[in-house]
Structure 1
């Protein structure tokens, strides 16, 4: 099975490789067609679906995987969120969400100004390339859960759904 991941970000591509071990995996840049910093569950989920669908258009009989990180409110508290989508060559779509973590209040203003969380995290954590390394989830969980591992959980949910429905 060939899977095309809608990103070249190593945390996303490696997450898919960790779960779909014996499959061909490639990462390509495709647009999410949502805000560069998605600001709700709905927008983040739609970005993942859009990426996955675009990937299936690249090569016949390929599977597309879209992984999208965003932020969302629960009441007045801002959380990190993430969504994934797997689209089969026949167009079946599987969707899943993963871990959430409360974000510090001081990140809210730059996020509302449209600055991507990855860029904010570099400055906040005094690190370089947080978005392609541990991610905000890694920073705020003391590296007990990395961005790659967070996305791997989502990919596991996608794979499990695909396998379940494919055997029926």
Structure 2
């Protein structure tokens, strides 16, 4: 049994997180993951839950438009959020797919855990740097957004960006693991999926 997944990013971290989550959550051994490059419709460094979620939704919707014959369409968007004077890192995951007997489109959404960024990174991000670039500058690394992410060096490698995203991806796949239950339709004007 094979599943075709359109991932709205060429980032290998997002691809690996999606593949791991789909395999363990939905039980597919063979997953054909197709990366589609799309514009998120939000700044390169989204700030706040709303903007970050909008970027993930835009990515999933664009993947659906570009590759309508896939089984799942995935958008992942990393962002930062201000809270109590600190800057925190987080990401949103959106999955669109067919569910239920009628095969109507539905969606699953989940947010990662958050963690506080050190002042050195936060200052660079607030000054306009992307989180990955700020992380590279502070830790003397290169292209961490395509490998360990910011979470990697900050946790001493205990959690990398793949694991960080995969947890939220598993949760976003809940509607597709439980197709006999009712979840929100992908189109807000459509009837709920039963």
Q: Which moved more, 1:39-48 or 1:153-162?
A: 153-162
Deviation at 1:143, TM superposition (A): 0.9
- Aligned 8 A contact 1:56 1:88 in 2: no
Q: 1:26-105, aligned counterparts within 5 Å? A: 26-62=34-70, 63-88=72-97, 90-105=104-119
SS in 2 for 1:135: coil
* 2:17 matched residue in structure 1: 15
Greater radius of gyration (CA): 2
Residue in structure 2 matched with residue 148 of structure 1 by the alignment: 162
User: What is the TM-score normalised by the length of structure 1?
Assistant: 0.93
Mapped to 2, the partners of 1:137 and 1:26 lie a distance apart of 26
Q: Which sits farther off after the overlay, 118-127 or 153-162?
A: 153-162
**Greater percentage in helix:** 1
Counterpart secondary structure, 2:91: strand
Deviations 1:75-97 (A, max 9, x none): 21110011100012544221100
SS class of match (1:66): strand
Question: Aligned pairs, how many?
Answer: 167
After the TM superposition, which segments of 4 or more aligned residues of structure 1 sit over 6 Å from their partners? Answer: none
**1:24 aligns with one of 32, 39, 46:** 32
Question: Which of 131, 135, 138 in structure 2 is aligned with 1:117?
Answer: 131
Structure 2 residues not aligned, in runs of 5+: 99-103, 182-194
* Structure 1: segments with no counterpart, 5+ residues: none
